[in-house]
Chains A and B, each alone.
Chain A
Amino acid sequence: MKNAFRSDISPSEITSRTLFESRRRWMQGSLASLATMAIAPASAKSRDGKDFPVAFESEKSEFSTAEKLTTYSDVTRYNNFYEFGTGKEDPVEQAHRLKTDGWTINIIGEVHRPQRFDIDQLLRLAPLEERIYRLRCVEAWSMVIPWIGFPLSKLLDLVQPTGNARYVEFISLYDPEQMPGQRSAVLDWPYKEGLRLDEAMNPLTLLTLGLYGEILPNQNGAPVRLVVPWKYGFKSAKSIVTIKLTEKQPATAWNVSNPSEYGFYSNVNPQVSHPRWSQRKERRIGEFLKRDTEMFNGYSEWVADLYRDLDLSKHF
Protein backbone atom coordinates (compact mmCIF):
# COMPACT_ATOMS: atom_id res chain seq x y z
CA MET A 1 0.00 0.00 0.00
CA LYS A 2 1.31 3.41 -0.91
CA ASN A 3 0.86 5.83 1.90
CA ALA A 4 0.90 9.52 1.14
CA PHE A 5 1.88 11.25 4.35
CA ARG A 6 0.32 14.67 4.69
CA SER A 7 -0.46 16.54 7.84
CA ASP A 8 -4.22 16.05 7.35
CA ILE A 9 -3.91 12.29 7.11
CA SER A 10 -3.04 10.44 10.23
CA PRO A 11 -0.68 7.59 9.39
CA SER A 12 -1.66 4.18 10.66
CA GLU A 13 1.71 3.67 12.33
CA ILE A 14 1.08 6.37 14.87
CA THR A 15 -1.98 4.70 16.30
CA SER A 16 -0.46 1.28 16.49
CA ARG A 17 2.64 2.54 18.17
CA THR A 18 0.77 4.60 20.73
CA LEU A 19 -1.28 1.58 21.64
CA PHE A 20 1.79 -0.55 21.79
CA GLU A 21 3.66 1.89 23.98
CA SER A 22 0.86 2.18 26.47
CA ARG A 23 0.79 -1.59 26.80
CA ARG A 24 4.54 -1.68 27.19
CA ARG A 25 4.47 1.05 29.81
CA TRP A 26 1.89 -0.88 31.76
CA MET A 27 3.97 -4.04 31.70
CA GLN A 28 7.12 -2.24 32.63
CA GLY A 29 5.36 -0.34 35.34
CA SER A 30 4.85 -3.58 37.21
CA LEU A 31 8.47 -4.55 36.75
CA ALA A 32 9.51 -1.11 37.84
CA SER A 33 7.89 -1.37 41.23
CA LEU A 34 9.85 -4.58 41.76
CA ALA A 35 13.23 -3.34 40.77
CA THR A 36 12.84 0.43 41.31
CA MET A 37 13.24 0.86 37.59
CA ALA A 38 10.44 2.92 36.21
CA ILE A 39 10.06 3.61 32.55
CA ALA A 40 10.28 7.15 31.34
CA PRO A 41 6.98 9.01 31.52
CA ALA A 42 8.59 10.78 28.59
CA SER A 43 7.54 7.82 26.45
CA ALA A 44 3.96 8.98 26.95
CA LYS A 45 4.90 12.18 25.17
CA SER A 46 3.94 12.26 21.54
CA ARG A 47 6.53 12.33 18.81
CA ASP A 48 8.38 15.56 18.39
CA GLY A 49 9.78 15.11 14.89
CA LYS A 50 8.49 16.04 11.45
CA ASP A 51 6.38 13.70 9.35
CA PHE A 52 8.20 12.07 6.48
CA PRO A 53 7.81 14.42 3.49
CA VAL A 54 7.21 11.91 0.69
CA ALA A 55 5.28 8.72 0.16
CA PHE A 56 6.89 5.46 1.17
CA GLU A 57 6.00 1.80 1.02
CA SER A 58 4.75 0.89 4.48
CA GLU A 59 3.58 -2.63 3.71
CA LYS A 60 5.89 -4.95 5.56
CA SER A 61 9.04 -5.65 3.56
CA GLU A 62 10.33 -9.23 3.30
CA PHE A 63 13.39 -7.99 5.20
CA SER A 64 11.37 -6.60 8.10
CA THR A 65 11.06 -8.38 11.41
CA ALA A 66 7.70 -8.83 13.14
CA GLU A 67 9.28 -8.34 16.57
CA LYS A 68 8.02 -5.72 18.99
CA LEU A 69 9.29 -2.25 18.18
CA THR A 70 11.49 -0.43 20.66
CA THR A 71 9.59 2.68 21.77
CA TYR A 72 10.03 5.90 19.85
CA SER A 73 11.21 7.51 23.06
CA ASP A 74 13.98 4.96 23.66
CA VAL A 75 15.04 4.99 20.00
CA THR A 76 15.42 8.77 20.02
CA ARG A 77 16.78 9.27 23.55
CA TYR A 78 19.34 6.49 24.00
CA ASN A 79 22.03 6.90 21.37
CA ASN A 80 25.70 6.36 20.78
CA PHE A 81 26.69 9.33 18.65
CA TYR A 82 30.04 10.51 20.00
CA GLU A 83 29.98 13.63 17.81
CA PHE A 84 27.53 14.96 20.41
CA GLY A 85 29.17 13.49 23.51
CA THR A 86 29.91 10.08 24.94
CA GLY A 87 26.89 9.91 27.26
CA LYS A 88 23.87 8.02 26.01
CA GLU A 89 21.62 11.07 26.39
CA ASP A 90 24.14 13.62 25.14
CA PRO A 91 22.96 13.26 21.51
CA VAL A 92 19.32 14.07 22.27
CA GLU A 93 20.43 17.09 24.27
CA GLN A 94 23.08 18.38 21.87
CA ALA A 95 21.89 17.39 18.41
CA HIS A 96 19.76 20.50 17.95
CA ARG A 97 23.05 22.20 16.99
CA LEU A 98 23.20 20.16 13.79
CA LYS A 99 22.09 22.11 10.70
CA THR A 100 20.69 19.79 8.09
CA ASP A 101 19.39 22.49 5.72
CA GLY A 102 21.16 22.49 2.38
CA TRP A 103 22.88 19.19 3.18
CA THR A 104 24.52 17.40 0.29
CA ILE A 105 26.13 14.03 -0.04
CA ASN A 106 29.04 13.68 -2.41
CA ILE A 107 29.72 10.40 -4.20
CA ILE A 108 33.33 10.23 -5.35
CA GLY A 109 36.23 7.88 -5.99
CA GLU A 110 36.14 4.85 -8.25
CA VAL A 111 32.90 5.71 -10.04
CA HIS A 112 32.15 6.60 -13.65
CA ARG A 113 29.68 9.31 -12.71
CA PRO A 114 30.70 11.10 -9.53
CA GLN A 115 27.79 13.13 -8.32
CA ARG A 116 26.51 15.35 -5.54
CA PHE A 117 22.98 14.87 -4.26
CA ASP A 118 20.88 17.04 -2.02
CA ILE A 119 18.31 15.51 0.30
CA ASP A 120 15.37 16.27 -2.02
CA GLN A 121 17.11 14.38 -4.80
CA LEU A 122 17.78 11.46 -2.47
CA LEU A 123 14.13 11.38 -1.44
CA ARG A 124 13.16 10.95 -5.09
CA LEU A 125 16.02 8.78 -6.21
CA ALA A 126 14.40 5.42 -5.53
CA PRO A 127 11.16 4.05 -4.07
CA LEU A 128 11.30 4.53 -0.31
CA GLU A 129 10.22 1.80 2.02
CA GLU A 130 9.86 1.07 5.69
CA ARG A 131 12.23 -1.60 6.99
CA ILE A 132 11.90 -2.90 10.53
CA TYR A 133 15.37 -4.02 11.52
CA ARG A 134 17.03 -5.32 14.64
CA LEU A 135 19.91 -3.12 15.76
CA ARG A 136 22.62 -4.81 17.81
CA CYS A 137 25.10 -2.54 19.57
CA VAL A 138 28.56 -3.90 20.34
CA GLU A 139 27.80 -2.96 23.96
CA ALA A 140 25.40 -5.91 24.11
CA TRP A 141 22.09 -4.06 23.95
CA SER A 142 19.67 -4.11 21.05
CA MET A 143 16.59 -2.40 19.63
CA VAL A 144 13.99 -2.95 16.91
CA ILE A 145 13.59 0.14 14.74
CA PRO A 146 11.30 0.99 11.80
CA TRP A 147 13.60 2.83 9.40
CA ILE A 148 12.64 4.53 6.14
CA GLY A 149 15.06 4.46 3.25
CA PHE A 150 16.11 2.64 0.11
CA PRO A 151 18.81 0.09 -0.66
CA LEU A 152 22.22 1.74 -1.03
CA SER A 153 22.68 -0.34 -4.19
CA LYS A 154 20.22 1.96 -6.00
CA LEU A 155 22.50 4.90 -5.41
CA LEU A 156 25.63 2.97 -6.31
CA ASP A 157 24.02 1.74 -9.55
CA LEU A 158 23.40 5.33 -10.49
CA VAL A 159 27.02 6.46 -10.07
CA GLN A 160 28.38 3.29 -11.69
CA PRO A 161 31.37 1.93 -9.75
CA THR A 162 34.45 1.32 -11.92
CA GLY A 163 36.11 -2.05 -12.21
CA ASN A 164 38.61 -0.97 -9.56
CA ALA A 165 35.99 -0.29 -6.91
CA ARG A 166 36.16 -2.90 -4.16
CA TYR A 167 35.22 -0.95 -1.04
CA VAL A 168 32.87 1.85 -0.05
CA GLU A 169 33.93 4.45 2.47
CA PHE A 170 31.41 6.57 4.40
CA ILE A 171 32.54 9.86 5.87
CA SER A 172 30.42 11.72 8.41
CA LEU A 173 30.24 15.47 8.93
CA TYR A 174 33.17 17.16 10.62
CA ASP A 175 32.21 20.44 12.24
CA PRO A 176 33.02 20.95 15.94
CA GLU A 177 30.72 23.99 15.96
CA GLN A 178 27.72 21.79 15.23
CA MET A 179 29.13 18.66 16.81
CA PRO A 180 30.64 19.64 20.16
CA GLY A 181 31.79 16.07 20.86
CA GLN A 182 34.39 16.52 18.12
CA ARG A 183 36.27 18.99 20.33
CA SER A 184 37.40 16.00 22.33
CA ALA A 185 39.74 13.49 20.71
CA VAL A 186 37.81 10.38 21.77
CA LEU A 187 37.91 9.25 18.13
CA ASP A 188 39.87 10.29 15.08
CA TRP A 189 37.43 12.77 13.48
CA PRO A 190 35.67 12.80 11.10
CA TYR A 191 33.96 9.50 11.76
CA LYS A 192 34.64 7.07 8.94
CA GLU A 193 33.15 3.72 8.18
CA GLY A 194 33.47 1.25 5.37
CA LEU A 195 32.01 -1.81 3.70
CA ARG A 196 33.16 -4.19 1.06
CA LEU A 197 31.41 -3.36 -2.23
CA ASP A 198 29.39 -6.59 -2.17
CA GLU A 199 28.26 -5.80 1.39
CA ALA A 200 27.27 -2.33 0.28
CA MET A 201 25.29 -3.79 -2.64
CA ASN A 202 23.43 -6.26 -0.42
CA PRO A 203 19.68 -5.54 -0.45
CA LEU A 204 19.66 -5.25 3.36
CA THR A 205 22.06 -2.30 3.35
CA LEU A 206 19.78 0.68 3.67
CA LEU A 207 20.48 4.32 2.93
CA THR A 208 18.22 5.77 5.58
CA LEU A 209 16.35 9.06 5.73
CA GLY A 210 13.68 8.45 8.32
CA LEU A 211 12.36 6.40 11.22
CA TYR A 212 8.96 5.83 12.82
CA GLY A 213 7.24 7.62 9.93
CA GLU A 214 9.31 10.77 10.48
CA ILE A 215 12.36 12.35 8.94
CA LEU A 216 15.46 11.19 10.83
CA PRO A 217 15.80 13.01 14.14
CA ASN A 218 19.22 14.69 14.39
CA GLN A 219 20.37 12.42 17.21
CA ASN A 220 19.73 9.38 15.02
CA GLY A 221 22.07 10.54 12.27
CA ALA A 222 20.15 13.11 10.25
CA PRO A 223 19.71 13.81 7.47
CA VAL A 224 21.11 10.67 5.89
CA ARG A 225 22.71 7.61 7.42
CA LEU A 226 23.50 4.03 6.72
CA VAL A 227 21.83 1.02 8.35
CA VAL A 228 23.66 -2.30 8.08
CA PRO A 229 21.59 -4.59 10.31
CA TRP A 230 23.87 -7.63 10.42
CA LYS A 231 26.81 -5.65 11.79
CA TYR A 232 27.34 -3.96 15.15
CA GLY A 233 25.69 -0.55 15.30
CA PHE A 234 28.84 1.51 14.92
CA LYS A 235 29.25 0.24 11.33
CA SER A 236 26.13 2.21 10.36
CA ALA A 237 27.62 5.66 9.77
CA LYS A 238 25.48 8.69 10.62
CA SER A 239 25.15 12.19 9.11
CA ILE A 240 27.06 11.17 5.99
CA VAL A 241 28.59 13.84 3.74
CA THR A 242 30.80 11.74 1.48
CA ILE A 243 30.63 8.27 0.02
CA LYS A 244 33.86 7.25 -1.63
CA LEU A 245 34.42 4.10 -3.64
CA THR A 246 37.93 2.79 -3.21
CA GLU A 247 40.22 0.03 -4.32
CA LYS A 248 41.82 -0.45 -0.90
CA GLN A 249 40.11 -1.23 2.36
CA PRO A 250 39.36 2.11 4.04
CA ALA A 251 40.38 2.93 7.60
CA THR A 252 37.37 2.91 9.93
CA ALA A 253 36.95 4.94 13.12
CA TRP A 254 36.66 2.25 15.78
CA ASN A 255 39.16 -0.02 14.09
CA VAL A 256 41.72 2.82 14.13
CA SER A 257 40.86 3.56 17.76
CA ASN A 258 41.29 -0.03 18.94
CA PRO A 259 42.17 -2.57 16.24
CA SER A 260 42.32 -5.57 18.56
CA GLU A 261 38.72 -5.05 19.66
CA TYR A 262 36.90 -3.67 16.61
CA GLY A 263 37.55 -5.31 13.29
CA PHE A 264 36.78 -3.95 9.85
CA TYR A 265 33.96 -6.44 9.38
CA SER A 266 32.39 -6.26 12.85
CA ASN A 267 29.64 -8.68 11.91
CA VAL A 268 27.36 -9.56 14.80
CA ASN A 269 28.86 -12.84 15.94
CA PRO A 270 28.04 -14.51 19.28
CA GLN A 271 31.09 -16.75 18.92
CA VAL A 272 33.64 -13.97 18.81
CA SER A 273 34.03 -12.67 22.34
CA HIS A 274 34.87 -9.09 23.15
CA PRO A 275 37.04 -8.22 26.18
CA ARG A 276 34.32 -5.99 27.59
CA TRP A 277 31.01 -7.42 26.51
CA SER A 278 29.90 -10.98 26.08
CA GLN A 279 28.57 -11.14 22.56
CA ARG A 280 26.67 -14.35 23.28
CA LYS A 281 23.74 -12.44 24.73
CA GLU A 282 22.13 -9.07 24.50
CA ARG A 283 19.62 -7.02 26.40
CA ARG A 284 16.77 -5.81 24.24
CA ILE A 285 16.05 -2.28 25.41
CA GLY A 286 12.87 -2.39 27.49
CA GLU A 287 13.36 -6.00 28.56
CA PHE A 288 14.89 -7.35 31.76
CA LEU A 289 16.25 -10.79 30.89
CA LYS A 290 18.93 -11.08 28.25
CA ARG A 291 18.32 -13.01 25.06
CA ASP A 292 20.70 -15.00 22.90
CA THR A 293 22.45 -13.06 20.17
CA GLU A 294 21.98 -14.57 16.73
CA MET A 295 24.70 -15.03 14.13
CA PHE A 296 24.71 -12.02 11.78
CA ASN A 297 22.02 -10.60 14.08
CA GLY A 298 19.56 -13.07 12.57
CA TYR A 299 20.22 -12.06 8.95
CA SER A 300 22.29 -15.13 7.94
CA GLU A 301 19.83 -16.08 5.24
CA TRP A 302 20.79 -12.96 3.25
CA VAL A 303 24.41 -12.38 4.21
CA ALA A 304 26.12 -15.63 5.26
CA ASP A 305 27.20 -16.24 1.66
CA LEU A 306 29.24 -13.05 1.65
CA TYR A 307 31.65 -14.62 4.11
CA ARG A 308 31.86 -18.24 3.05
CA ASP A 309 35.59 -17.93 2.25
CA LEU A 310 36.42 -15.89 5.32
CA ASP A 311 37.65 -17.05 8.72
CA LEU A 312 35.31 -14.96 10.86
CA SER A 313 37.31 -15.48 14.04
CA LYS A 314 40.26 -13.77 12.33
CA HIS A 315 38.27 -11.27 10.31
CA PHE A 316 36.00 -10.22 13.16
Chain B
Amino acid sequence: MRDTPRPQRLRVGIDTRIIWLVSLIPLITLCGRGMMGELTANPIEYISKFTGWWTLFSLLLTLGVTPARYFFSMPILFPLRRTFGLITFVYATIHFLTWLVLDQFFDWTEIALDLSERPFIYIGFVAFLGLCILALTSTNRAKVVLGSVRWRRMHKSVYLIAILGVTHFYILVKSDVWEPLTFGAVLFLLLGYRLFLRLLNNRR
Protein backbone atom coordinates (compact mmCIF):
# COMPACT_ATOMS: atom_id res chain seq x y z
CA MET B 1 0.00 0.00 0.00
CA ARG B 2 1.33 3.38 -0.91
CA ASP B 3 1.61 6.07 1.64
CA THR B 4 -1.11 8.54 1.06
CA PRO B 5 -0.32 12.06 2.17
CA ARG B 6 -2.06 12.76 5.42
CA PRO B 7 -4.73 15.38 5.18
CA GLN B 8 -3.26 18.47 6.71
CA ARG B 9 -4.89 19.47 9.93
CA LEU B 10 -6.47 22.82 9.71
CA ARG B 11 -4.97 25.09 12.31
CA VAL B 12 -7.32 27.73 13.50
CA GLY B 13 -5.67 28.34 16.83
CA ILE B 14 -2.24 29.51 17.91
CA ASP B 15 0.03 26.70 19.02
CA THR B 16 0.52 27.57 22.67
CA ARG B 17 3.65 25.41 22.81
CA ILE B 18 5.39 28.10 20.80
CA ILE B 19 4.32 30.67 23.38
CA TRP B 20 5.71 28.47 26.14
CA LEU B 21 9.02 28.17 24.31
CA VAL B 22 9.23 31.93 23.85
CA SER B 23 8.38 32.46 27.50
CA LEU B 24 11.50 30.52 28.45
CA ILE B 25 13.78 33.10 26.81
CA PRO B 26 14.07 35.39 29.87
CA LEU B 27 14.78 32.38 32.06
CA ILE B 28 17.46 31.09 29.70
CA THR B 29 18.92 34.60 29.53
CA LEU B 30 19.08 34.68 33.32
CA CYS B 31 20.86 31.32 33.48
CA GLY B 32 23.24 32.45 30.75
CA ARG B 33 24.09 35.63 32.64
CA GLY B 34 24.54 33.51 35.75
CA MET B 35 27.07 31.31 34.03
CA MET B 36 28.88 34.34 32.63
CA GLY B 37 28.97 35.86 36.11
CA GLU B 38 26.90 38.83 35.04
CA LEU B 39 24.44 38.91 37.92
CA THR B 40 26.29 41.73 39.71
CA ALA B 41 28.00 41.39 43.08
CA ASN B 42 24.62 40.63 44.63
CA PRO B 43 23.15 37.86 42.44
CA ILE B 44 20.23 37.10 44.74
CA GLU B 45 18.93 40.64 44.56
CA TYR B 46 19.40 40.56 40.80
CA ILE B 47 17.51 37.27 40.35
CA SER B 48 14.74 38.52 42.59
CA LYS B 49 14.28 41.74 40.67
CA PHE B 50 14.56 39.99 37.30
CA THR B 51 11.94 37.31 38.02
CA GLY B 52 9.64 39.85 39.66
CA TRP B 53 9.85 42.09 36.60
CA TRP B 54 8.93 39.24 34.25
CA THR B 55 6.09 38.15 36.52
CA LEU B 56 4.51 41.60 36.24
CA PHE B 57 5.26 41.78 32.54
CA SER B 58 3.49 38.48 31.81
CA LEU B 59 0.63 39.44 34.11
CA LEU B 60 0.04 42.60 32.09
CA LEU B 61 0.27 40.55 28.87
CA THR B 62 -2.41 38.26 30.29
CA LEU B 63 -4.67 41.22 30.95
CA GLY B 64 -3.92 42.57 27.49
CA VAL B 65 -5.27 39.50 25.69
CA THR B 66 -8.96 40.33 25.99
CA PRO B 67 -8.68 43.96 24.84
CA ALA B 68 -6.40 42.91 21.97
CA ARG B 69 -8.81 40.19 20.95
CA TYR B 70 -11.66 42.68 20.56
CA PHE B 71 -9.53 45.48 19.25
CA PHE B 72 -8.08 43.40 16.41
CA SER B 73 -11.19 41.19 16.13
CA MET B 74 -9.01 38.12 16.54
CA PRO B 75 -10.82 35.44 18.54
CA ILE B 76 -7.86 33.10 18.00
CA LEU B 77 -6.03 35.10 20.65
CA PHE B 78 -8.47 33.87 23.26
CA PRO B 79 -6.55 30.77 24.52
CA LEU B 80 -3.49 32.95 25.12
CA ARG B 81 -5.14 34.32 28.21
CA ARG B 82 -4.65 31.04 30.02
CA THR B 83 -1.17 30.50 28.58
CA PHE B 84 0.08 33.92 29.67
CA GLY B 85 -1.65 33.46 33.01
CA LEU B 86 0.21 30.22 33.62
CA ILE B 87 3.49 31.73 32.49
CA THR B 88 2.87 34.49 35.03
CA PHE B 89 2.38 31.81 37.66
CA VAL B 90 5.65 30.09 36.70
CA TYR B 91 7.66 33.34 37.00
CA ALA B 92 5.86 34.26 40.22
CA THR B 93 6.78 30.85 41.65
CA ILE B 94 10.45 31.28 40.77
CA HIS B 95 10.31 34.80 42.25
CA PHE B 96 8.71 33.46 45.45
CA LEU B 97 11.25 30.64 45.73
CA THR B 98 14.08 33.12 45.24
CA TRP B 99 12.87 34.91 48.36
CA LEU B 100 12.19 31.72 50.34
CA VAL B 101 15.29 29.75 49.41
CA LEU B 102 18.02 32.07 48.13
CA ASP B 103 17.22 35.18 50.14
CA GLN B 104 15.94 33.77 53.44
CA PHE B 105 17.24 30.20 53.11
CA PHE B 106 14.32 28.80 55.13
CA ASP B 107 15.02 31.07 58.08
CA TRP B 108 11.46 30.77 59.38
CA THR B 109 11.82 33.40 62.10
CA GLU B 110 13.03 35.96 59.57
CA ILE B 111 10.34 34.89 57.12
CA ALA B 112 7.61 35.37 59.73
CA LEU B 113 9.02 38.77 60.71
CA ASP B 114 9.39 39.75 57.07
CA LEU B 115 5.73 38.89 56.47
CA SER B 116 4.52 40.78 59.51
CA GLU B 117 6.74 43.86 59.30
CA ARG B 118 7.15 44.61 55.65
CA PRO B 119 4.06 45.70 53.69
CA PHE B 120 5.63 44.93 50.32
CA ILE B 121 6.35 41.37 51.42
CA TYR B 122 2.86 40.56 52.60
CA ILE B 123 1.23 42.30 49.65
CA GLY B 124 3.41 40.23 47.34
CA PHE B 125 2.66 37.09 49.33
CA VAL B 126 -1.11 37.59 49.12
CA ALA B 127 -0.82 38.24 45.39
CA PHE B 128 1.17 35.02 45.00
CA LEU B 129 -1.40 32.98 46.95
CA GLY B 130 -4.07 34.41 44.67
CA LEU B 131 -2.08 33.37 41.59
CA CYS B 132 -1.71 29.84 43.03
CA ILE B 133 -5.48 29.50 43.37
CA LEU B 134 -6.07 30.80 39.87
CA ALA B 135 -3.41 28.46 38.44
CA LEU B 136 -4.93 25.45 40.25
CA THR B 137 -8.37 26.26 38.88
CA SER B 138 -7.18 27.05 35.38
CA THR B 139 -8.05 23.67 33.87
CA ASN B 140 -11.10 22.97 31.76
CA ARG B 141 -12.13 20.44 34.38
CA ALA B 142 -12.05 23.04 37.13
CA LYS B 143 -14.25 25.25 35.02
CA VAL B 144 -16.81 22.45 34.75
CA VAL B 145 -16.64 21.57 38.44
CA LEU B 146 -16.96 25.17 39.59
CA GLY B 147 -19.51 26.16 37.04
CA SER B 148 -18.92 28.86 34.48
CA VAL B 149 -20.41 31.73 36.48
CA ARG B 150 -18.54 31.02 39.67
CA TRP B 151 -15.33 30.32 37.77
CA ARG B 152 -15.50 33.66 35.99
CA ARG B 153 -16.24 35.53 39.17
CA MET B 154 -13.31 33.82 40.86
CA HIS B 155 -10.90 34.56 38.04
CA LYS B 156 -11.86 38.22 38.04
CA SER B 157 -9.64 38.42 41.13
CA VAL B 158 -6.73 38.61 38.70
CA TYR B 159 -7.44 42.36 38.55
CA LEU B 160 -6.90 42.69 42.28
CA ILE B 161 -3.79 40.49 42.06
CA ALA B 162 -2.38 42.76 39.37
CA ILE B 163 -3.00 45.84 41.52
CA LEU B 164 -1.29 44.13 44.46
CA GLY B 165 1.62 43.07 42.25
CA VAL B 166 2.30 46.58 40.95
CA THR B 167 1.89 48.03 44.46
CA HIS B 168 4.39 45.45 45.74
CA PHE B 169 6.93 46.73 43.20
CA TYR B 170 6.12 50.39 43.81
CA ILE B 171 6.72 50.33 47.57
CA LEU B 172 9.84 48.22 47.22
CA VAL B 173 11.87 50.71 45.19
CA LYS B 174 13.76 53.39 47.09
CA SER B 175 13.19 56.50 45.07
CA ASP B 176 13.37 55.72 41.36
CA VAL B 177 9.70 54.88 40.85
CA TRP B 178 9.77 55.22 37.06
CA GLU B 179 9.52 51.49 36.34
CA PRO B 180 6.72 50.61 38.76
CA LEU B 181 4.81 53.69 37.64
CA THR B 182 5.06 52.52 34.04
CA PHE B 183 3.66 49.15 35.02
CA GLY B 184 0.97 51.01 36.96
CA ALA B 185 0.06 53.18 33.97
CA VAL B 186 -0.31 50.16 31.67
CA LEU B 187 -2.42 48.40 34.30
CA PHE B 188 -4.55 51.52 34.65
CA LEU B 189 -5.22 51.51 30.90
CA LEU B 190 -6.06 47.80 30.86
CA LEU B 191 -8.46 48.08 33.79
CA GLY B 192 -9.83 51.41 32.56
CA TYR B 193 -10.68 49.81 29.24
CA ARG B 194 -12.79 47.18 31.00
CA LEU B 195 -14.48 49.73 33.21
CA PHE B 196 -15.28 51.83 30.17
CA LEU B 197 -16.88 48.88 28.36
CA ARG B 198 -18.90 48.07 31.43
CA LEU B 199 -20.24 51.60 31.75
CA LEU B 200 -21.07 51.55 28.07
CA ASN B 201 -23.00 48.29 28.44
CA ASN B 202 -24.87 49.52 31.49
CA ARG B 203 -26.05 52.57 29.65
CA ARG B 204 -27.60 50.54 26.85
Residues of chain B within 8 A of A280, CB atoms compared: 110, 113
Bin the interface of chain A by size. 35 or more
A160 part of interface (Cβ distance < 8 Å): no
A257 to B118, CA, bound (A): 20
Assess A36 versus B35: contact at CB under 8 Å? Given A78-B40, A276-B172.
yes
Residues in A102-129 with C-beta less than 8 Å from chain B: none
A184 to B172, CA, bound (A): 19
Considering only CB atoms, which chain A residue lies closest to B35 in the complex? Answer: A38
B110 contacts which of A141, A184, A275, A278 (Cβ < 8 Å)? A278
A288 to B114, CA, bound (A): 18
Considering only CB atoms, which chain B residue lies closest to A36 in the complex? Answer: B34
Assess A36 versus B31: contact at CB under 8 Å? Given A78-B41, A285-B42.
yes
Most B C-beta atoms less than 10 A away, residue of A273, A278, A286, A289 = A278
Beta-carbon contact of B175 and A86 below 8 Å: yes
A275 contacts which of B107, B113, B119, B178 (Cβ < 8 Å)? B119
Q: How far is the CB of B19 from chain A (nearest CB, A)?
A: 24
B117 part of interface (Cβ distance < 8 Å): yes
A125 to B195, CA, bound (A): 68
Residues of chain A within 8 A of B31, CB atoms compared: 36
Considering only CB atoms, which chain B residue lies closest to A71 in the complex? Answer: B41
Beta-carbon contact of B172 and A78 below 8 Å: no
B102 part of interface (Cβ distance < 8 Å): yes
Binds B, one of A5-13, A39-47, A57-65, A144-152: A39-47
B120 part of interface (Cβ distance < 8 Å): yes
Q: What is the predominant secondary structure among interface residues of chain B facing chain A?
A: helix
Beta-carbon contact of A276 and B176 below 8 Å: no
Beta-carbon contact of B41 and A186 below 8 Å: no
Assess A184 versus B120: contact at CB under 8 Å? Given A36-B31, A37-B34, A38-B36.
no
A73 to B38, CA, bound (A): 12
Residues in A249-296 with C-beta less than 8 Å from chain B: 257-258, 273, 275-276, 278, 280-281, 283, 285-286, 288-290
A154 part of interface (Cβ distance < 8 Å): no
A315 part of interface (Cβ distance < 8 Å): no
Contact string, A157-200, partner B, CB cutoff 8 A, digits 1/0? 00000000000000000000000000010110000000000000
Residues of chain A within 8 A of B175, CB atoms compared: 82, 86, 186-187, 257-258
Beta-carbon contact of B41 and A74 below 8 Å: yes
Beta-carbon contact of B34 and A278 below 8 Å: no
A35 to B35, CA, bound (A): 10
B42 contacts which of A73, A86, A275, A283 (Cβ < 8 Å)? A283
Considering only CB atoms, which chain A residue lies closest to B46 in the complex? Answer: A88
Assess A285 versus B34: contact at CB under 8 Å? Given A86-B176, A187-B175.
no
Residues of chain B within 8 A of A273, CB atoms compared: 117
B44 part of interface (Cβ distance < 8 Å): yes
Considering only CB atoms, which chain A residue lies closest to B39 in the complex? Answer: A37
Residues of chain A within 8 A of B174, CB atoms compared: 86, 139, 276
A89 part of interface (Cβ distance < 8 Å): yes
Assess A141 versus B40: contact at CB under 8 Å? Given A37-B34, A278-B110.
no
Contact string, A190-225, partner B, CB cutoff 8 A, digits 1/0? 000000000000000000000000000000000000
Q: How far is the CB of B62 from chain A (nearest CB, A)?
A: 27
Beta-carbon contact of A78 and B42 below 8 Å: yes
A77 part of interface (Cβ distance < 8 Å): yes
B176 contacts which of A42, A184, A288 (Cβ < 8 Å)? A184
Q: Rank and list the top 5 A-B pairs by shortest CB-CB distance, nearest first.
A: A78-B41, A74-B41, A86-B176, A40-B37, A37-B43
18 chain-A/chain-B pairs, Cβ below 8 angstroms: A32-B37, A37-B34, A38-B37, A40-B38, A40-B41, A41-B37, A77-B41, A82-B176, A88-B41, A139-B45, A141-B42, A141-B45, A184-B178, A186-B175, A187-B175, A275-B171, A290-B105, A290-B110
